[in-house]
Amino acid sequence: MTRPLVGLSLMLEDDFLRATYPLFESGAVDVLEWSFDTGWPPADVPKWAEELLHFYSESGRLFGHGVSYSILSAGTEDLQQTWLQLFSTEIDRRRYHHISEHFGFSSRRNFHQSAPLPVPLTSATLQLGQERLQCLAQIAKVPVGLENLAFAFSLRDVLDQGRFLDELLAPIDGFVVLDLHNLYCQAMNFERLFEDLLTGYPLPRVRELHIAGGSWSQGIDPRPVRRDTHDGPVPDELFSLLPVVLRECPKVECVILERMGGTLSESESFRRDFFRLKEVVDAAA
């Protein structure tokens, strides 16, 4: 396999800049992923972030990752149309290597945006998602993909997701962004082996990996729930599993380290994660 590129997901907060500046300055960041719709008006994108986006766009190493298209929201066509119009402007403005979005629904008429939640796999939800992806692909004019979701209401959501993603993506020959921490959350929360869940995904479609840390949440039930909060170091288990995933997913082009802005008070540990990621990817390739 060709050695996958290793990159970061761009955040706009000052602590992200402080933590990552030495990485960008030394040229260690191969690719940059940008959740472009977080930068749409009225958001304010700082000058340093604009310069990074320009540099990676011009270098052909900018990856787009939307957060608010909400491909499985039903009866919200006006919201999607507005999003697509802004997306069209985005595509004219910057050059993206490929574009991805999230599985699930995250918006409704009365909720402009929430965290993505799953929907049941039915012929209607499948058709709805396929149509939305067609609209996205027509404008993107580059490969389009979907990221697996961490949250599941039940084991049924967990076990259906690989097939759901495959069938959603088949008409556009789209790709999967396999988020290892999301899969880890599902393995922890539903007491399944990570490797077993992995085999349920369309691995030949995996073109990008995400890796991140998270946290535990506990309510009335004594069993805690693992959440994809992107606010801590990457679990050791994921670094151990990464070579397995890379072996099973021969078309992976890049691995992106994610960390929520505003949670980077310890820059050193974040940079350690980044260099450890590069070492593991180098060794696996």
Partner 1 sequence: MPPPESAIGQIGEFQETLLELLAQDLSLDTLQNRLHEEPAFAPFRDYVQGFEPRMLEVAALLVKKWGKRSAQGGKMTEG
Give the angle subtended at the CA of 237 by the CAs of 190 and 206, to the nearest 5°. Answer: 75
Query: What's the token pair of residue 51?
Result: 């310069």
> Which of the ranges 16-24, 49-57, 122-130, 161-169 carries the binding residues for partner 1, by CB under 8 A?
122-130
Q: Does 232 bind partner 1 (CB under 8 A)?
A: no
Q: Does 199 bind partner 1 (CB under 8 A)?
A: no
Taking CB under 8 A as the criterion, which residues in 74-113 touch partner 1? 74-76, 102, 105-106, 108-113
Out of 85, 154, 199, 240, point to the residue binding partner 1 (CB under 8 A). 154
CB-count exposure of residue 172 (10 Å: 0-12, 13-18, 19+)? middle
First to last CA, the chain: 6
- Count of residues interacting with partner 1 (CB under 8 A): 63
> Which of the ranges 56-64, 71-79, 194-202, 271-279 carries the binding residues for partner 1, by CB under 8 A?
71-79
> Which of the ranges 26-34, 88-96, 224-232, 235-243 carries the binding residues for partner 1, by CB under 8 A?
224-232
Q: Does 277 bind partner 1 (CB under 8 A)?
A: no
**Contact criterion met (CB below 8 Å) for 70 and 116:** yes
CB closer to partner 1 out of 12 and 284: 12
Of the candidates 233, 216, 239, the residue with the CA atom closest to the CA atom of residue 271: 233
DSSP E strand boundaries for 137-279: 144-147, 175-179, 206-211, 215-217, 225-227, 254-257
**Contact criterion met (CB below 8 Å) for 107 and 142:** no
Q: Does 170 bind partner 1 (CB under 8 A)?
A: no
User: In angstroms, what is the minimal distance from the CB of 259 to partner 1?
Assistant: 10
Radius of gyration for the alpha carbons in the chain, expressed in angstroms and rounded: 18
Nearby residues of 244 by Cβ (< 8 Å), 6 or more positions away: 195, 198
CB closer to partner 1 out of 61 and 230: 230
Out of 80, 100, 189, 263, point to the residue binding partner 1 (CB under 8 A). 189
User: In angstroms, what is the minimal distance from the CB of 169 to partner 1?
Assistant: 17
Q: Give the separation between CA 255 and CA 156, rounded to whole angstroms.
A: 28
Q: What does the binding site for partner 1 look like in residue numbers (CB under 8 A)?
A: 11, 35, 37-43, 66-68, 73-76, 102, 105-106, 108-117, 119-120, 122-125, 127-128, 131, 147, 149-156, 179, 182, 189, 210, 217, 219-221, 223, 225, 227-230, 260-261
